[in-house]
Amino acid sequence: MNLNATLLGQMITFTVFVWVTMKYVWPFIVKALQERQQKIADGLAAAERAERDLELAQHRIAQQLRDAKVQAAQIIEQAKKRSGLLVEEAKHRAQEEGDRLVAMAHAEIQQEQQRSRLELRKETVNLAIAGAEKILEQNIDDKAHANMFDKLIAELEE
């Protein structure tokens, strides 16, 4: 073991290598490492944010769904109410219509009765006149006795 000038040479070599490493190797690698670290951290943060966004969106969706259901229920309720109302109204109207028709029929029937009675009476009067003519064997002047017959009809009507 003998130390000699190689020692100095090696120290110079060592210094040069350390200098080169410090200048041209280390900073670039460390920078790349830090950048990648930053990138990964950013990526993870973004993923977390996205997850949170997703959760929020799901929350919102659930809320909207609930709202929609409530609204639908309300609409159905309203529709039911309205349909009930309509049915009621229709029934009412039908009833009125029916009543009106019945009343009209009644009136018609009454009129018909009246008219047939009148007819009948006229017929009866004519028959009576004819009978009287036969009995009297003589023509009665229609015009002269019309007044008397009308009075008679009116009497019969009462």
Contact residues: other proteins, CB under 8 A = 1-11, 13-15, 17-18, 20-22, 24-33, 35-36, 38-39
* Residue number with CB closer to other proteins (30 or 79): 30
Nearest approach, Cβ of 66 to other proteins (angstroms)? Answer: 45
Nearest approach, Cβ of 19 to other proteins (angstroms)? Answer: 8
* Residue number with CB closer to other proteins (2 or 138): 2
* Residue number with CB closer to other proteins (32 or 57): 32
Nearest approach, Cβ of 39 to other proteins (angstroms)? Answer: 5
* Residue number with CB closer to other proteins (16 or 127): 16
Q: What is the DSSP letter of 138?
A: S
Q: Which two tokens stand for residue 149?
A: 């017959």
Q: Which residues contact 132 (CB under 8 A, 6 or more apart)?
A: 140
Q: Please spell the DSSP secondary structure of 21-83, one letter per residue.
A: IIIIIHHHHHHHHHHHHHHHHHHHHHHHHHHHHHHHHHHHHHHHHHHHHHHHHHHHHHHHHHH
